[in-house]
Amino acid sequence: MAVGMTRRTPPAGLLFALPALAWIGLFFLVPVLIMAGYSLHPLNDAGVPGPLSLADYAAFFAEPAYVQALVDSVVTTVIVVVASTLLAYPFAWCIACVVPRRYQRIALIAAILPFWTSYVVRSYAWLLALSPVGAVNKTLLALHLVGRPLMFAYNPQATELGFVHFFLMLNTLTIYASLTQINPRYELAARDLGASALRGFLTITLPLSLPGVAVGAFLTIVLCIGDYVTPQILGGFRELLLPQLIIMQVQRQLDLPMASCMSLLLTVLVALAYLALQRWLRIARL
Scan residues 157-176 and list those touching other proteins (CB under 8 A).
165, 168-169
35 counts as binding other proteins under rule CB under 8 A: yes
181 counts as binding other proteins under rule CB under 8 A: no
x/- letters, 71..110, toward other proteins (CB under 8 A): ----------------x---x--x--------------xx
Which of residues 190 and 261 has its CB atom nearest to other proteins in the complex? 261
Q: What's the rounded Cα separation, in Å, for the pair 143 and 205?
A: 42
Identify the CA nearest to 139 among candidates 153, 126, 152, 149. 149
Three-state DSSP at 202 gives helix
- Per-residue b/e over 135-153, b at no fewer than 16 CB within 10 Å? ebbeebeeeeeeeeeeebb
- The vertex-55 CA angle with 240 and 274, nearest 5°, equals 55
Three-state DSSP at 20 gives helix
Q: What is the DSSP string of 250-285?
A: HHTS--HHHHHHHHHHHHHHHHHHHHHHHHHHHHHH
24 counts as binding other proteins under rule CB under 8 A: yes
N- to C-terminal Cα separation, the chain = 35
Q: Site for other proteins (CB under 8 A): how many residues? A: 74
- The vertex-245 CA angle with 239 and 246, nearest 5°, equals 155
Candidates 53-61, 76-84, 131-139, 203-211 — which segment interacts with other proteins by CB under 8 A? 131-139
Q: Which of residues 258-277 bind other proteins (CB under 8 A)?
A: 259-260, 263, 266-267, 270, 274
57 counts as binding other proteins under rule CB under 8 A: no
x/- letters, 192..231, toward other proteins (CB under 8 A): --------------------------x---xx-xxxxx--
Of residues 38, 66, 152, 163, which one binds other proteins by CB under 8 A? 38
Identify the CA nearest to 265 among candidates 282, 232, 241. 241
Of residues 58, 71, 113, 197, which one binds other proteins by CB under 8 A? 113
Residue 189 CB, shortest distance to other proteins, in Å, is 28
Which of residues 83 and 208 has its CB atom nearest to other proteins in the complex? 83
Which of residues 93 and 190 has its CB atom nearest to other proteins in the complex? 93
Of residues 44, 82, 103, 114, which one binds other proteins by CB under 8 A? 114
- DSSP annotation of 194: T
Q: What's the rounded Cα separation, in Å, for the pair 284 and 286?
A: 6
Of residues 8, 15, 144, 145, which one binds other proteins by CB under 8 A? 15
122 counts as binding other proteins under rule CB under 8 A: yes
